[in-house]
Amino acid sequence: MELVQRDQLQSLIDSFAGKDVYIHLETTNGSYAAHFQEGFFNAGAFIRNIVVNYELGKVAGDSPHRIGLKLPSGWIYAQGITHYELDEHGRLLMAGLGPDGKLAVSLEISETPFTY
C-alpha cells in the first residue's frame, strides 16, 4: 500500500460505482487496548463480504482522508484512511495506519468475494 494520492484514489473509487461489489469495513483499537490502558473504552466494528451497489463514492478531506459511499437507501463511510492499493486481483484496499504502523480502519472494495 502507498500513501493516498487523492485524485488516483478518487478515480479508482469511481471505477467501482454502479457495480455489485463486495465490501470489507473494519475499525479497531486492537483487542489489548483496555489491557494496556486501564479504563480504555474499546470499540470497533467489522463487516466483510457484504454486497452493495453504490451510486457515488467520494474521497474527502486532507490526509487522513474520509471515504463515503452513497447507496440507494443508505451510506458507508470510513475516516482515517492513509494508504491504498489496487491489488493483483483488482481489489481496492484502503487502510488507515497510525504512525506506529498499526491498522485502525480498513475499507476494501472488490468485484469478487474476499476470502473467508
Partner 1 sequence: MEKERHVLVIFPHPDDEAFGVSGTIATYIEMGVPVTYACLTLGEMGRNLGNPPFANRETLPMIRKKELQASADAMGLTDLRMMGLRDKTVEFEDDEKMVKLVADLIEELNPSLIISFYPGLSVHPDHDATGRAVVEAIRRMSESERPKLYTIAFDNKTVEVIGHPDVHHDVSGVTEKKLGAMNAHASQTVWMMEDMQKRLDAEDADALRWLKTEHFYTYTF
Q: Which residues bind partner 1 (CB under 8 A)?
A: 1-2, 24, 26, 28, 30-32, 35, 38, 46, 82-83, 85, 87, 91, 93, 95, 97-104, 106, 108, 114-116
Q: At a CB cut-off of 8 Å and minimum separation 6, what does 52 contact?
A: 20, 21, 23, 69, 71, 76
- Shortest gap between Cβ of 8 and partner 1 (angstroms)? 17
Closest to partner 1 by CB, 18 vs 46, is 46
For residues 42 and 103, what is the distance between their CA atoms, to the nearest angstrom?
15
- Shortest gap between Cβ of 35 and partner 1 (angstroms)? 5
Which grid cell is 115? 476470502
